[in-house]
Amino acid sequence: MNFVPLVAKTLIAMKIPTFLKRAPFKLLAILIPLALFFLGWWFGLPPAEKSDGEAAASGEVWTCSMHPQIRQPEFGLCPICNMDLIILEDDGEGGLREVSISAEAAAMLDLRVAPVVRAPAAREVRLFGRIDYDERRTATITARVGGRLDRLFVDFTGARVTEGDHLAEIYSPDLLVTQRELIEARRAIDAMPAGASDAVRDTRQRLLSASREKLRLLQFSDEQIAEIEQSREPREHLTLRATMSGVVTTRLANQGDYVETGDVLFKIADLRHLWLNLEAYETDLPWLRYGQDVSFHIDALPGREFHGSVVFIDPAIDPARRIARVRVNIENEDLAIKPGMFARATIASATDGGGHRLDPKLAGKWISPMHPEIIKDAPGDCDICGMALVPIEEYATMSAASGEDPLLVPATAVLRTGQRAIVYVRLPEAPTPMFEGREIVLGPRAGDHFIVSSGLSEGELVISRGAFKLDSELQIKGRPSMMNPEAGLIERPAHDAPESLAAQWQPLPRALHRFNQDPTEAHIDEMKTHIEGIHTGQLQPDELALWEEFSRSLRNELEVARADVVTNPDQAVAHVARAFERAGRFLGVPYQPVATTADPEAAAVLRDAIADYLPLAQALADDDDSAAKQAAETLAATVTGDLKPLAQAVANATDIDERRKAFEPLSDHLIERIREHGTDAVGNAYVVHCPMAFGDAGADWISQKPEVLNPYFGDRMLTCGTVTATLSVDQSDQSDQSDQSDQSDQSDHTDH
C-alpha cells in the first residue's frame, strides 16, 4: 500500500494549500503528528503486507534455528516447536560444506586452528595383566604302572626339585613280572649251548632286548637294568624321578594310595621362565607388535622395573569382554616373581605412514614362527623346535617401515558420528575466514592426535576448537553436515551428469567390475587414481562443488575398503558398491559395474595405430598440411584391414581441407574398433566432439588427454569441442595426468 497519495488527498480535503499562506507554523503542528502517525503505521505492517521492497517480495526465506528443515517465505512460528522463525541468510558460498564468518564472529566464537603435521605417531600403551606359568616349561609325572605308593619323597606342594631327583616309590606286581622276564631272558642266553643255531641265538637275543626296553619305558635307567640282570633278583619298588627342575605345583597322591597306569601324581613348573598375560582392548591392538619391549611393575616388588618381550598376540577377540590376550616372556632367575602376581605394563610404540615401524634393533633379524623369542642375526633353525627361521619383516603383522611419518590431526578437531569423521579446514585463498567441512578417514589415535589415512594434506589448518559451532551453522542452513550428510542434496537421474564429467567417469564402472571380480589393492589404486585424475575445468561452480564432495567421499571409502581386501574381500566389495551407488545417485552418473572384453592381439594392433594416428591429429590442429600428409602416409603403411584405405585417403588428399574431411571417417572407424576390441587396453584414448565441424554436422576425433585441440578448425577455433567419452585409460600414466590436472583445467573449455 502506498501512503503518499493518501497524504495528498488528506491535505487537499483540509484545504492545506490555502491555509499554508496564512499560518505556516500552525501547518507544522498538524503535519508533524500526521507524518508520525503514518510512519508508525508503515513500520507496524507485517512483512507479508509490504509492497515493493518488502521481505516477501525480496525472496527471503525464514527457518527455525532448532529445526533447520523448516522453510517458509514469511515470518511466523515454527510448526514443530513454536519458536520464532529467523531469516535464512544466503552468503553465496560455493562449496556444499563451506561456511564463512567474519573475523569478529570468529573471535567471539573463540575458534582455534591447528596445522595438520607429518610427524612420528608415538603412544604409550598401558596394560594390566597377571603372572602365569610358562606352559612350555611344565611337566606332569604319571604312574607308568599300576600299583601302591609305598613312599613319597616329595610330600608337599611347592617343594623344589632338580631333574633326576626321586619323587616316590611304587610297588607293582606288573613290575615284578616285567623284571622276571628280563632275568629269564638273561638266563636263557647264558644257558644256551655253544652249538646252538643262529636262529635260536637271534630269537633269545631279541627277547632280552624287548625285556630291557619294557623296563626302560618304566623309567628304569640302564645302570638299574644291568644291575637286575647281574643280581638275578627283581626289585620290589619302582622309583619315580623328576623329569625337569622346578617347583612341584600339584601333588595328587598320598603315601599308600593305589594308582592306575597313567594316573597323574605330580606337576612340576620351572619358575625361572614365566609368562605375563596382558589384556589389550581392540583400540590398543594397532600399536602392538611382536618383539616389542615391555616394561612392567609389580606392586608386591616395589622399586623394581622388569622387562620382557611380546611373543604372542591372541588372533581372536573375547566376544564377552572385548579384549585380546597379549603374552610376554619374562626371565625370573632370582625367583622373585611369583605366578599369580598382578602387573602394570607399559609398551612404548610408534608407527609410520604405512602403519608399522620396526624396532631398529630387530631390523634384518630372523625369528622363529613357533617361538618368537628365538631371534637370530642370520637364517637358521629354531633352538627349541627346529623349524626354519623367517625374516622378521614377514612374520605376523610386522612389516618394514615405509620411511614416511604419518599425518596427524588434533583429536579435538575431529567430529565423529558412527563410521564418519569430519574436520573443518580453513580455506587459505578466501579473503574472509572461510571453512570447509571435510570427511576424512582416521587411523588409530596417538595420544592427543589421530592418524589421518585419507582426506587431509600436510600444512592444512583445521579448527581445533569450536568445530561443532560451525557444523551447527551448516545444519541451520540445511546443508551437508556431521549429523545429516545429505541435507540439501537432490538425487539426479542416471546419465544426467554434465557431459565433461560423464565422459571421464566411464572407466570407473569398468574398473568397479574388475574389482568385484578380483578385489585387490591394485584395483583400488586404479579407481582412486582415475578419480583424482578427472579434469573439472568445464564444470559449473555448483557442479564442481558437488563433484568435490562426492569424489572426496569416494576416495575415503576406497581407503576404508583397502583394509578389508585381504581379510574380508566380500565386505570390501559391498562397501565399494555402496559408495559408488551413493555418488551415482547425486552426481547423475552410472554406478553399476560394466563388464568389458578386450582382444589382446587386436588391442596391440590398435595401440600401434593410435601411436601413428595422434601425430596426424596434432598436425591438423597445427594447420601443418605437410606434416599431416607425412603422418597419414606413415599411418597408412602401419595399419591393415578397413583402416588402411581410410588412412590412404587422408594421405592422398590435395589440401588440408580435403585432408580434414577424410580424417573424419578414419577417426570414426578407429573409435569403433577401440570400442569393440580395445576398451581399457590401448593406453589413453578419449573421444572429443566438435559440434561446429562441417557446417554444424559435428565430428569426433581421438585424443591422448582429456583436452581439446581441434584438428578440424586448427588455429581458427583450436579449443572448440568437448570430451564425450573415455575409451581407454593407461593406469601407469594416470599419476602424471593427476599432477597436471590444474594446468589442463585452464585450457579444457568449450570455445564456439
Average pLDDT over residues 687-709: 91
Contact status, residue 537 vs residue 746, Cβ threshold 8 Å: yes
Determine what percent of the chain is predicted with pLDDT higher than 90. Answer: 28
* pLDDT mean over 193-218: 82
Taking the mean position of all CA atoms in its chain, how far away is CA 295?
A: 31
Least confident of 335-339, 496-500, 628-632: 496-500
Picking from 172, 169, 168, 208, the residue whose alpha carbon sits closest to that of residue 188 is 208
Residues in contact with 130: Cβ distance below 8 Å, sequence separation at least 6, in sequence order: 276, 277, 340, 341, 342, 343
pLDDT value for 355: 56
What pLDDT is recorded for position 752? 38
> pLDDT for 435-452, tens place per residue?
888 889 888 888 888 888
Lowest-confidence segment of 311-320, 617-626, 691-700, 736-745 by average pLDDT: 736-745
State residue 209's pLDDT score: 85
pLDDT for the residue 132: 94
What's residue 500's pLDDT?
82
Asked whether the predicted pLDDT for residue 574 surpasses 80, the reply is: yes
Question: Is pLDDT at 635 greater than 60 in this prediction?
Answer: yes
pLDDT confidence band for 397 (50 / 70 / 90)? very low
Convert the pLDDT of each residue in 274-309 to its tens digit: 999 999 998 888 888 877 889 999 999 999 999 988
Per-residue pLDDT at 434 exceeds 90:
no
Quote the pLDDT of residue 398. 44
What is the chain's Cα-based Rg?
44
Question: Given this model, what pLDDT does residue 736 score?
Answer: 45
Question: Residue 345 above 60 pLDDT?
Answer: yes
Specify the range with the lowest mean pLDDT, choosing from 60-64, 199-203, 609-613, 631-635.
Answer: 60-64
How does residue 641 score in pLDDT terms, banded at 50, 70 and 90? Answer: confident
Average pLDDT across the chain, whole number: 82
Q: Report whether pLDDT(750) > 60.
A: no
When mean pLDDT is compared across 212-216, 255-259, 572-576, 734-738, the lowest value belongs to 734-738
The predicted pLDDT at position 105 comes to 79
pTM over 0.95: no
Q: What's the confidence (pLDDT) of residue 27?
A: 56
The yes-or-no verdict on residue 20 having pLDDT over 70 is: no
Residue pair 162/182 in contact by the 8 Å Cβ criterion: no
Closest CA relative to residue 118, chosen from 395, 313, 403: 403
pLDDT at site 323: 92
Whether the per-residue pLDDT at 656 is higher than 90: the answer is yes
The whole-number average pLDDT for the span 382-409 is 72
User: What's the pLDDT score for residue 3?
Assistant: 46
| Geometric angle at alpha carbon 736, from 357 and 721, rounded to 5° | 145
- Please give the pLDDT value at position 65: 67
Residue 4's pLDDT is 44
pLDDT for position 19:
46
Residue 320 pLDDT greater than 70, yes or no: yes
307-311: long-range pairs with CB below 8 Å, 24+: 308/276, 309/372, 309/373, 310/347, 310/372, 311/371, 311/372, 311/373
Residue 52 confidence class, pLDDT cut points 50, 70, 90: very low
The answer, yes or no, to whether residue 34 has pLDDT greater than 70, is no
pLDDT at 733: 54
3-state secondary structure of 501: helix
Are 387 and 372 spatial neighbours (Cβ–Cβ below 8 Å)? no
Give one DSSP letter per residue of 140-207, joined into a string: EEE-SS-EEEEEES--STT-EE-TT-EEEEEE-HHHHHHHHHHHHHHHHHHT--TT--HHHHHHHHHH
pLDDT given at position 86? 81
Residue 401 has pLDDT above 50, yes or no: no
Q: Is 622 exposed, middle or buried (0-12, 13-18, 19+ CB in 10 A)?
A: middle
Share of the chain above pLDDT 70, in %: 85
- Range with lowest mean pLDDT among 24-28, 122-126, 409-413, 463-467: 24-28
| Range with the largest mean pLDDT of 23-37, 105-119, 290-304, 342-356 | 290-304
**What is the pLDDT averaged over residues 374-390?**
85
pLDDT tens for 216-265 read 887 777 887 888 888 788 877 878 888 889 899 888 888 888 888 888 98
**For residue range 131-146, what is the model confidence (pLDDT) as tens digits?**
999 988 888 888 888 8
- Please give the grid coordinates belonging to residue 406: 604419518
pLDDT of res. 429 = 76
326 pLDDT above the threshold of 90: yes
Contact 266, 140 (CB under 8 A): yes
Residue 89: pLDDT over 50: yes
Number of H helices, E strands in the chain: 20, 31
pLDDT attached to residue 567: 84
Question: Confidence class of residue 419 from pLDDT cuts 50, 70 and 90?
Answer: confident
96-110: pLDDT as tens digits: 888 888 777 777 888
Which of 50, 53, 82, 45 lies closest to 66, judged by CA?
A: 82
pLDDT at 57 over 50: no
553, 605, 556, 624: which is closest to 583 by C-alpha? 553
